[in-house]
Structure 1
Amino acid sequence: MPEMRFHVRWPDGRREACYSPSLVVRDFLTPGESYALDEFVAKSRTALTIASDRVREKYGFSCSAAMDQLARIEAAAKRQAPGGHVTVEAFEP
């Protein structure tokens, strides 16, 4: 299963490389686009849940790395000022 990283810039300027065990993230996020904080979290949650489910279908167990990444995204979002935007800077296969 092809994995990928998606690089984001948080509203506070911090950059982060996020992991997905599947390319499904490309269906939800676009490099160069900025998303309202809540929208970014929701799209990430959907994409990483689908990615984890794909791992379960193939290997018989969910992807803990995808769920750990989602937890990091949710925690980082809580540290941001309300009304901020997250920019997806790049995808890395």
Structure 2
Amino acid sequence: MPEMTFAVRWPDGAVQNCYSPSLVMHDHLDVGANYTVADFRTRATSALDEAAERVRAKFGFACTSAAATADDIVRNANRYEDDAVVEVLTMHPPLETS
């Protein structure tokens, strides 16, 4: 199962590097896009839940790293107003374009 990393910039300029056990993040977030904190929190945690379930389906156990990343995102998001802006800086590996 291909894993990936992604980085976001929070409203105060802090950068958070994140991990996902699946490329599913590409289905929920776009590089260079800005999201409100509330929207980002929802998109990211939904994608990480989906990634953890893909791991469970393939290997028979949940991915604790996906859960830890989701927890970190929620904890950071709670520091800001819901309408503040988060920017997705990078997603690696990128999706191949046809």
* Interval containing the TM-score (normalised by the shorter chain): over 0.9
Alignment of 1:4-83 (within 5 A): 4-83=4-83
Aligned letter for 1:25? M
CA offsets, 1:29-82, max 9 Å, x none?
000000010000000011000000000000000100000000000000111244
Q: Structure 1 runs of 4+ off > 3 angstroms?
A: none
The CA deviation at 1:83 is 2.2
Confirm or deny: 8 A CA contact 1:11 1:81 kept in the other structure.
no
Q: Distance in 2 between matches of 1:44 and 1:77?
A: 11
Say how many residue pairs are matched. 93
Output the aligned Cα RMSD.
0.8
Structure 2 spans left out of the alignment, 5+ residues: 94-98
Confirm or deny: 8 A CA contact 2:4 2:20 kept in the other structure.
yes
